[in-house]
Amino acid sequence: MQLITDLHTHSKYSRATSPEMNLPSLWRWGKIKGINIIGTGDFTHPLWQESLVEQLEPAENGLYTLKQQYAKIEDEKLPENIQNNLIRFVCTAEISTIYKKKDKVRKLHTIIVSPNLNSVKKLTEKLKKIGNLHSDGRPILGLDNKELLKIVLDTDPDMLFIPAHIWTPWFSVFGSKSGFDSLEEAYDELTPYIYAVETGLSSDPAMNWRISDLDKVMLISNSDAHSPAKLGREATVLDIDLSYQEIAQALKTKDKRAVGTIEFFPEEGKYHYDGHRNCEIVLEPKESIKLNNICPKCGKELTLGVEHRVEELADRSLGFKPKQAKKVEYIVPLTELIAQTLHVSGTSKKVMKLYEEIISGLGDEFSILRKVTVQQIREQGYERLAEAIEAMRSGNVEKTPGYDGVFGTIKVRAKDNNQEQSTQQALFSKAT
């Protein structure tokens, strides 16, 4: 069966993360979003690991479910139409490594996926001898990333080692500030054990297809959620039976079980273009090159974005698509679509009220964005939302790229998009 997976999340013990990032909230929001397999995140943190042991119980091989006493409370908060949505957890963590290699400081983030809690405990016993696991849910280790890979493989060869958001400037394997120019440069003889990479919010598969070095790995997408509502910003679709081994084999072999990814438009990512946040300077790569990558306002070096870095390493032309390419779907979060049609902030109470109403009537968010027909949305009385989703699905959007830590914006070009509507009722004929 096709399952939506989000393997990169965090807990409340990570820096700059919502206190609501706990297992019951992830369970509830997973059902709201329509995600089937959720990474626990942060399994190296001692207190979070205690929560995993206390609140989860084994389900299918290598997967976990929320214990009934917690699940029942959360399910009762949900509309009846999504209470039975399938949710499983898989043990994951993100680890930051900072080290020097070939006379350059390297800063890499890596997702570790474990087949069970026993292997989690074994790995954390080894890692706590290397660095402080208590201070942050995403620990920082002074360790060569290749050495971390060795430790992971020695602990349990069934663990997955996935370079995270591989293009972001500061903390990634290809990052312009502290990364490498190839996987082999980072991992040497252990490169064959890198089966998958996470493309990150600021890039999409099409950008990664330009790098022949990445043909051998599976391109996956995840949310890197720091709050429950951000789950599923991006995700990976697998056609598998419920088991850890099925997940692992789908990513390792890239066979028909690996269906594809659900993506942000990459321009919405906060490191897509070049620029300087403090100077409010945003540039396309070709403009930056003309300026020798120097900010025209302050004279300092620009933060080079993902598109620039991809262009540097690309050995294929724009638009190249490999034969083995997987399916790619682009989405705009439902709250953003509602906010655009209402001409209000995405965090307004009006948006959240309508979001809850729409979920109650039409199902989980991914179903609404991907599968519910435009006609069904109209029949529920959401005419303008139907137009917005139709435009999103066809790629009829206006893109303002993000840069240097500033998220970009994606606006749908629905019918009458320039016609100001002043009331909620004018936009959603059912809502009053």
Each residue's pLDDT tens digit, 162-213: 999 999 999 999 999 999 999 999 999 999 999 999 999 999 999 999 999 9
- Taking CA atoms, 344 is separated from 128, 262, 385, 387, 420, in Å, by 47, 26, 14, 17, 12
Number of domains in the chain: 2
In a domain, 40, yes or no: yes
Q: Specify whether 337 is located in the same domain as 253.
A: no
Q: Specify whether 339 is located in the same domain as 191.
A: no
Q: Specify whether 214 is located in the same domain as 343.
A: no
- Taking CA atoms, 26 is separated from 61, 332, 347, 392, in Å, by 21, 20, 19, 26
pLDDT band of residue 310 (cuts 50, 70, 90) is very high
Q: Specify whether 254 is located in the same domain as 347.
A: no
Residue 44 clears pLDDT 50, i.e. is over it: yes
In a domain, 299, yes or no: no
In a domain, 187, yes or no: yes
In a domain, 283, yes or no: no
Q: Which amino acid is at 311?
A: E
Q: Specify whether 36 is located in the same domain as 133.
A: yes
Q: Specify whether 337 is located in the same domain as 249.
A: no
Q: Specify whether 346 is located in the same domain as 242.
A: no
Asked if 108 and 186 count as a contact pair (C-beta separation under 8 A), the reply is: yes
Q: Collect all residues with Cβ–Cβ distance below 8 Å to 325 and sequence separation of at least 6.
A: 205, 209
In a domain, 208, yes or no: yes
In a domain, 312, yes or no: no
Q: Specify whether 252 is located in the same domain as 355.
A: no
Each residue's pLDDT tens digit, 233-289: 999 999 999 999 999 999 999 999 999 999 999 999 999 999 999 999 999 999 999
Q: Specify whether 192 is located in the same domain as 338.
A: no
Of 267, 293, 312, which one is at a domain's C-terminal end? 267
Q: Specify whether 191 is located in the same domain as 337.
A: no
Domain extent, residue 6, equals 2-267
Q: Indicate the pTM of the whole model.
A: 0.95
How many other CB atoms sit within 10 Å of the CB of residue 67? 14
In a domain, 288, yes or no: no
Helix (H) or strand (E) holding 330: strand 327-330
In a domain, 291, yes or no: no
Q: Specify whether 252 is located in the same domain as 346.
A: no
